[in-house]
């Protein structure tokens, strides 16, 4: 089940922890991989972990021209894009009254606008081929909000709403569009949190543990597969029960 043989998957933010796990999971299911990130060394190291049918593309998704060039380069290399995983994201946390215009705009540009531009660029070909999967990485805070993250929360809420709109427009053409909203996932950043902070965090999660990157990658693989062909416009929450939505 969930085979993706010879499907071409473009994964943004591929050099990060969740991106790497998504890449490995889709590759194990037979997908060809187009990996992109700003971190060239991370991309080189990641590509070295695979065999054939994997290429990386360094791109700054905050730059509109770079987004256009990325899609053109991937299509030149692989001929098409069947699966788009809008995983790239960043944070610039600050209290609302202290947040600068630059902090607001950068997060919106990378987390939301780049995903819009990528989806717009790839969906035309998907519609012509009557097959496509667009998957956006949202967040639990895009639904619940979080103090100090007005920009990040807004970008993730926008991702959810944007994907619902696109899903309605392209559903009849064999293209599904969904979002995944992770809760707190174990990363190097959470590993170094003080014990009291971790305890307070876990107290909010019924499963009493942080999620793993593999938990997110598993859902990506499912949504990208033929088994999920009747699921579109949805937000899949992966949060250990922290938010039951």
Long-range Cβ pairs for the range 113-118 (8 Å, 24+): 114/12, 114/61, 114/62, 114/67, 114/86, 114/88, 115/12, 115/86, 115/88, 115/159, 115/162, 116/162, 117/64, 117/67, 117/68, 118/10, 118/12, 118/61, 118/67, 118/70, 118/71, 118/84, 118/86
Q: Which of these is catalytic: 27, 131, 152, 230?
A: 152
Give the Å distances, CA to CA, from 26 to 31, 40, 136, 217: 6, 21, 15, 8
* 152 included as an active-site residue: yes
Cite the active site residues. Answer: 152
């Amino acid at each position: 089940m969930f085979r993706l043989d010879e499907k071409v998957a473009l994964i943004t933010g591929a050099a990060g922890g969740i991106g790497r796990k998504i890449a490995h999971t889709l590759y194990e299911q037979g997908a060809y991989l187009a990996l992109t990130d700003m971190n060239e060394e991370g991309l080189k190291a990641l590509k070295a972990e695979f065999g054939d049918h994997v290429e990386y593309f360094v791109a700054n998704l905050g730059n509109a021209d770079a987004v256009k060039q990325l899609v053109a380069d991937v299509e030149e290399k692989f001929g098409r894009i069947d699966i788009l995983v809008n995983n790239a994201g960043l944070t610039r946390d600050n209290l609302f009254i202290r947040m600068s215009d630059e902090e607001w705009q950068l997060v919106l540009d990378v987390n939301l606008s780049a995903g819009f531009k990528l989806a717009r660029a790839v969906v035309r070909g998907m519609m012509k081929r009557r097959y496509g999967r667009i998957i956006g990485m949202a967040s639990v805070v895009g639904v619940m909000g979080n103090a100090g993250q007005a920009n990040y929360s807004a970008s993730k809420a926008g991702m959810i709403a944007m994907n619902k709109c696109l899903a309605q427009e392209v559903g009849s053409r064999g293209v599904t569009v969904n979002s995944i909203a992770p809760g707190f996932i174990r990363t190097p950043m959470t590993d170094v949190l003080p014990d009291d902070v971790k305890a307070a965090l876990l107290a909010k999660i019924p499963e009493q543990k942080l999620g793993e990157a593999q938990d997110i990658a598993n859902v990506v693989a499912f949504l990208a597969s033929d088994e999920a062909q009747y699921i579109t416009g949805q937000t899949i929450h992966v949060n250990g029960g922290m938010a039951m939505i």
